[in-house]
Amino acid sequence: MGELRGRVAVVTGAGSGFGREFARLAADAGMALVLVDVQADALAETAAGLEATGTTVMQRRLDVADGDAMQTLAHDAWARFGAVHLLFNNAGVGTTGLLWEASVQDWEWVLGVNLWGTIHGVRAFVPRMLEAAAKDPGYRGHVVNTASMAGLVDPPLTGPYNVAKHAVVSLSETLHQDLSLVGERVGCSVLCPSWVGTGIAKADRNRDPRAARTRTRAAAVGQALVDKAVASAKTTARDVARLTFEAIAERRFWILPHPQALAGVRARHDALQTQAPPPDPYTALPQLRRQILDALHAP
């Protein structure tokens, strides 16, 4: 990417977690920012903190699942700044429970934000980025899609989230291949973290209160697992953001903040090659699987 000062970054899910840290590091690098979140107060807090440091900020409250809103965002970003150089398709939500218990509204919400939000981001911004590259030999652009280790392995009790994140990994790999056919000035990366202390465990706070939610024992067990994992995570959102900016600078595709989690990916690939059933993603943590089973089957 080269020098970031004076360039423009778009960050979805900018109100908290990875998005807020992406925005802070982009501001530290001297970039102007287009910040997006569905939660108005969190977005305003992020924007105000950065504007106080002298950063130029355009903020927009919108749902990334709304394709028309994302197209309007891209149009307005170009109208104000003349170009966008970094795009962070980062907004994410999740639900828990057994796969067949998830409501249609659960599926629509998780896929709408995690997958369709990324699709809309790519469709709205990448064509404009490629057009900018065609007009300006000095232009460089990069897209970062936030997926998850749940896009590379499949833990139980998080079905819709797993499905969405696997799709984001596939989308990102395909984007990499397609971009390679049309030039070298726009690149992409996919971020696949494991547990990090972010607000995704509380994502339900921004959901339509009228939507049907899965309120089963399995959903409660899964939520307790997520809450505990997030609360005890040693890696911070800031750590992940720093690694992400390093990957952007190096034009590296895979961003893997938890390399120890790749053991599960290797086990999955080994099972695929030998046509064995999918391995237990908690093989290295047998006590965790036992706790889940005990909680599910408690009288």
Annotated active-site positions, please?
Answer: 161
Contacts of 186 (CB under 8 A, 6+ apart): 126, 129, 130, 133, 140, 141, 142, 143, 179
What's the rounded Cα separation, in Å, for the pair 117 and 91?
7
Contacts of 227 (CB under 8 A, 6+ apart): 201
Kindly report the number of other CB atoms within 10 A of residue 189's CB atom: 23
What's the rounded Cα separation, in Å, for the pair 124 and 78?
11
The amino acid at residue 213 is: R
Per residue, the 3-state secondary structure of 121-173, as one string, reads HHHHHHHHHHHHHHHCCCCCEEEEEECCHHHCCCCCCEHHHHHHHHHHHHHHH
Taking a C-beta distance cutoff of 8 angstroms, is the pair 49, 77 a contact? no
Query: Pick from 222, 167, 229, 160: which is nearest to 194 by CA?
Result: 229
Taking a C-beta distance cutoff of 8 angstroms, is the pair 83, 132 a contact? yes
Taking a C-beta distance cutoff of 8 angstroms, is the pair 34, 72 a contact? no
Q: Which token pair is 17? A: 């977690």
Q: Which token pair is 55? A: 């950063």
* Ordered alpha helix ranges (H), the chain: 17-28, 40-51, 67-81, 104-110, 117-135, 159-180, 217-231, 237-250, 262-274, 286-296
